[in-house]
A and B are shown apart, each in its own frame.
Chain A
Amino acid sequence: MTAALLTLADSRLPAGGHTHSGGVEQAIAAGHVHDPASLAAFLLRRLTTAGAVTAGLAAAATTRSSSGRHRGHVPSPGARSPAGSSSGEPPAPASSELVAALRHLDGEADARTPSPALRAASRQQGRGLVRVGRRAWPSPVWDALPAAPHHPVALGVAAAAGGLTPRDAAAAAAYLSVSGPATAAQRLLALDPLTVAAVTARLAPAIDAVADDALRDGLPADTDPLLDLLAEVHATRGDRFFAS
């Protein structure tokens, strides 16, 4: 792990995440989430389904983006270059193989996201992450992505560009699958922020387990019809605070 992971998973990274509730706004409207215990249940459920899928996709995207000569080029302040950077050589352009590999992963994300509203939300957040990631960690691998990739695919590329490992990318994806919704619930229900921080902190072992599983062969394909339905109902509302 390097400190780049802390930046990537920081809720203050300006990638647009704060305008998405991960379904928690509609879960509150429907009465499923109303207190810290029901929030914890929702987050655990989200982590082990949507979180597991995004962790798998992010890890795979990092693996593809880091392989061979397309290993992420890490900007190197000062004379000391971090290991793995191609110091002195111009960064290689994104290969057509990498373009195809990332496009394939993007399609896998589509296939695992039956809700059109969630597909749109994921691509919106992917676009936001690409915008800030390109600035933070310049690398030719960004050029291999479509204009608005699914968020976990963009996250995997960001991890590679930042010199992180697939396990790091999976951990970031798993953590982000609960940290955003936790904050959204805190705002919407005016919960005690210390209580919500404790819920999120105690999910750490479960987040680690999801990140470990993400490295196994084959992409996870867990689904949660409730999250899909909540997202579809939410998208039809005219009175919402959050984009999803």
Chain B
Amino acid sequence: MPPDHNLADYVDAPTAHRHGGPLRVGLGGPVGSGKTALAAALCRTLGAEYDLAVVTNDIYTTEDADFLRRNAVLPDDRIEAVQTGCCPHTAIRDDITANLDAVELLEARHPGLELVFVESGGDNLTASFSYGLVDVQVFVVDVAGGDKVPRKGGPGVTASDLLVVNKTDLAPLVGADLDVMRRDSATVRGDRPTLLISLREDPAATEVAAWVREQVRVRRLQQG
């Protein structure tokens, strides 16, 4: 670097917290892995504890938002759907403008908001959220996608704050070995947690909800 250049002129001073608003939790993962079902389960389980809202990123329609509304998981004014211009991973990582608009709209509408779930459109194993958009992210894969998915890795599997392996009830039907998935996840993820769940058997998503509660608690401590 030339001697007359100062890095502080190029980079904004880091702040302890991006904002004082709600905890933002990203829910990502491949098509059909159960992102919307998990969002619905978390809203049902946590809706009475926290002031919460959801942003959906459907690829083509407002189907996910409609699903949440139909199931009366949340009132209409707590669900916002954004269009992603044929590029769901761009909208959650490379240019998060539409999602920030939606989150800020929900924050303005509900000043006491404590928790926002941002559900990505179904994408591939390389899709992950920008930490400019979310504070923590959950990546959802399912057993029916094959027990080799954790081994294949990708940013969602390896670097997400929580990996959820859904549909464990299907393991015997599709010939998936849950021990292999558990072991491979631990190998590629190091200390980051993995939960193997079945939303069919536990519609309350008990373990995932407990993880979210812990994230809210930690954030409150950090905010003082």
Contact = CB atoms under 8 A, between A and B. Distances in A.
B4 A188 contact: no
Contact of B83 (A14, A80, A127, A242): A242
B184 to A, nearest CB: 34
B206 interface: no
Interface in B77-104: 82-87, 90-91, 94-98, 100-101
B59 to A, nearest CB: 7
Given A18-B95, A78-B2, A128 B84 contact: no
A15 B83 contact: no
Given A18-B90, A79-B4, A12 B85 contact: no
Given A12-B95, A16-B101, A128-B97, A238 B62 contact: yes
Interface in B191-223: none
Interface in B1-59: 2, 4-6, 9-10, 12, 59
B61 interface: yes
| Interface range, A side | 20 to 34
A32 to B, nearest CB: 19
Contacts of B10: 77
B60 interface: yes
B94 A12 contact: yes
Nearest to A148: B101
A243 B9 contact: no
A239 interface: yes
Contact of B101 (A14, A78, A127, A242): A127
B9 A241 contact: no
B98 A78 contact: no
A185 to B, nearest CB: 11
B127 to A, nearest CB: 15
A14 B10 CA distance: 18
A127 B101 CA distance: 9
- Mostly, the A contact residues are loop
A79 B91 CA distance: 38
A20 B97 contact: no
Given A14-B96, A239-B60, A20 B2 contact: no
Contacts of A124: 101
Interface in A1-56: 12, 14-21
A124 B6 CA distance: 35
A124 B209 CA distance: 34
Contact of B9 (A15, A17, A76): A76
A243 B95 contact: no
B85 A128 contact: no
A175 B114 CA distance: 41
Q: Which of B61, B87, B91, B97 has the most CB of A within 10 A?
A: B97
Given A14-B94, A15-B95, A20-B85, A128 B4 contact: no
Interface string B169-197: 00000000000000000000000000000
Q: Which 3 A-B pairs give the minimum distances between C-beta atoms?
A: A16-B97, A128-B97, A77-B9
Interface of A: 12, 14-21, 75-80, 124, 127-128, 131-132, 135, 184, 187-188, 238-243
16 contacts: A14-B94, A16-B101, A18-B94, A19-B82, A19-B91, A19-B97, A77-B9, A78-B2, A78-B5, A78-B9, A80-B4, A184-B86, A240-B83, A241-B86, A242-B85, A242-B86
Given A17-B95, A19-B84, 16 more contacts: A15-B95, A16-B95, A16-B98, A18-B91, A18-B95, A19-B83, A78-B5, A78-B6, A80-B4, A128-B98, A131-B100, A184-B85, A184-B86, A241-B59, A241-B83, A243-B98
